[in-house]
């Protein structure tokens, strides 16, 4: 009986350690990824919010493939948009099947963004010269209940 409990404990510990190593490896890859916009469509202007669909390219410049094929244990949750460090808006995702091979990219298509009209007006008043370089996108990835951020 004791032998069975010890063996079960070792197996559970081994699985937990393997999961921890996998998360650490994914986090290393996350930290090197880059994100850039690639398309904009369906812009709708409302009183409270501006909405639009945005395509984003997530680039994996590493020698390791990035793979989220873990069912409900890992997923892309949100995309946050910033301009010169100031929050613009966000999109909510629930994408749990992503594979980005080494030295390759993945395009998220039709990401539904929502930006408050107040934020749009504030940014419109402060735009003397606008460039894509002023934008920063952050993808929030949830792995086993812990959130990690990919900034590009």
CA dist., res. 32 & res. 30, Å (int):
5
Specify burial of residue 129 (Cβ count, 10 A radius: 0-12, 13-18, 19+): exposed
Q: Report how far Cα 15 is from the mean position of its chain's Cα atoms.
A: 26
- Give SS3 for 102: coil
Angle in degrees, CA 85, 133, 45, rounded to 5: 75
Alpha-carbon distance of 142 to 88, in angstroms, equals 22
For 130, other C-beta atoms within 10 Å of its C-beta total 12
Give tens-digit pLDDT for 57-115.
889 899 988 877 655 567 778 888 888 788 888 888 878 777 889 899 988 888 898 88
Domains, the chain: 2-151 (2.60.40)
The residues with which 107 forms a beta bridge, in sequence order, are: 57
User: Across residues 1-22, what is the average pLDDT?
Assistant: 71
Query: Which pLDDT score, from 0 to 100, does residue 119 have?
Result: 79
Grouping H, G, I as helix, E, B as strand and the rest as coil, residue 43 is strand
Q: Which of 49-53, 54-58, 86-90, 147-151 shows the lowest mean pLDDT across its residues? A: 147-151
Q: What secondary structure letter does DSSP report for 78? A: E
């Amino acid at each position: 009986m004791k032998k069975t409990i010890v063996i079960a404990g070792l197996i559970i510990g081994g699985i937990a350690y393997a999961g921890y190593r996998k998360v650490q490896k994914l986090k290393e890859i996350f930290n090197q990824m880059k994100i850039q916009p690639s398309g904009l469509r369906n812009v709708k202007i409302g009183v409270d919010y501006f909405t639009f669909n945005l395509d984003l390219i997530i680039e994996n410049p590493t020698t390791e493939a990035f793979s989220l094929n873990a069912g409900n244990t890992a997923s892309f949750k949100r995309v946050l948009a910033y301009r010169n460090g100031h929050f613009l808006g966000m999109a909510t995702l629930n994408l749990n099947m992503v594979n980005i091979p080494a030295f390759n990219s993945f395009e998220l298509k039709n990401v539904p963004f929502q930006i408050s009209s107040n934020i749009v007006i504030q940014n419109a008043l402060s735009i003397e010269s606008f460039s894509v370089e002023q934008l920063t996108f952050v993808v929030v990835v949830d792995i086993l209940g812990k959130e990690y951020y990919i900034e590009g």
